[in-house]
Amino acid sequence: MKNHDILTCLQCGTCHASCPSGRYTSLNIRKIVRDSVRRDISDEPELWMCTTCYNCQERCPRGIKVTDAVLTLRSEAVKKGMLLPAHRKVCRCLFETGYSIPIDDKHRLMRKKLGLGETVHKKAIKEVRTLLGSTKFNELIKI
């Protein structure tokens, strides 16, 4: 990844020490930062263990946008077809319903009892589909 800010990293490890996911997983954000400028890390599963909490970015003494870099690295991985099945499913929900988390019968009934209206909007779904086609997201994700 071409990111000049990352070249200023002094490998102090404040990012990793601040990482809630790194406490439990093999995600070492310091290593991600180091390795991302040396080689392609698109196939590393650790990229997807970040909750994007921004602790690393907030605390970096060099002011490196670490979390934003993770987002860029992920989008590079997606371009190479590295996409977790669960995430593809969420994208499919958006394409089909306009929502990432669509309504189901149980919650439709809850809404009715509360006197709340419908959440399915046909025009919204149509427009979302047009936009997903226009940006070629459909092709990228293979919806």
Per CB under 8 A, does 141 bind other proteins?
yes
75 is an interface residue for other proteins by CB under 8 A: yes
Which residue's CB is nearer to other proteins, number 12 or number 53? 53
Q: Which of residues 4, 38, 105, 134 is near other proteins by CB under 8 A? A: 134
User: Segment near other proteins (CB under 8 A), from 9-17, 30-38, 129-137?
Assistant: 129-137
Q: Which of 20, 69, 92, 143 binds other proteins (CB under 8 A)?
A: 20
**Is 114 in a helix, a strand, or coil?**
helix
- SS3 breakdown of the chain: % helix, strand, coil, rounded to 5? 55, 0, 45
Do 100 and 90 touch, CB atoms closer than 8 A?
yes
By the rule CB under 8 A, 137 interacts with other proteins: yes
Rounded to a whole number of angstroms, the minimum distance from the CB of residue 36 to other proteins is: 15
Q: How many residues bind other proteins (CB under 8 A)?
A: 58
Element of type H or E holding 111: helix 105-114
Asked if residue 128 binds other proteins (CB under 8 A), the reply is yes
Q: Which of 74, 44, 71 is nearest to 57 (CA)?
A: 71
Among 21, 28, 35, 143, binds other proteins (CB under 8 A): 21
- Phi-psi domain of 116 (left: phi exceeds 0; alpha: psi -120 through 50; beta: other): beta
Shorter beta-carbon distance to other proteins: residue 39 or 86: 86
The answer to whether the CB of 46 falls within 8 A of the CB of 28 is: yes
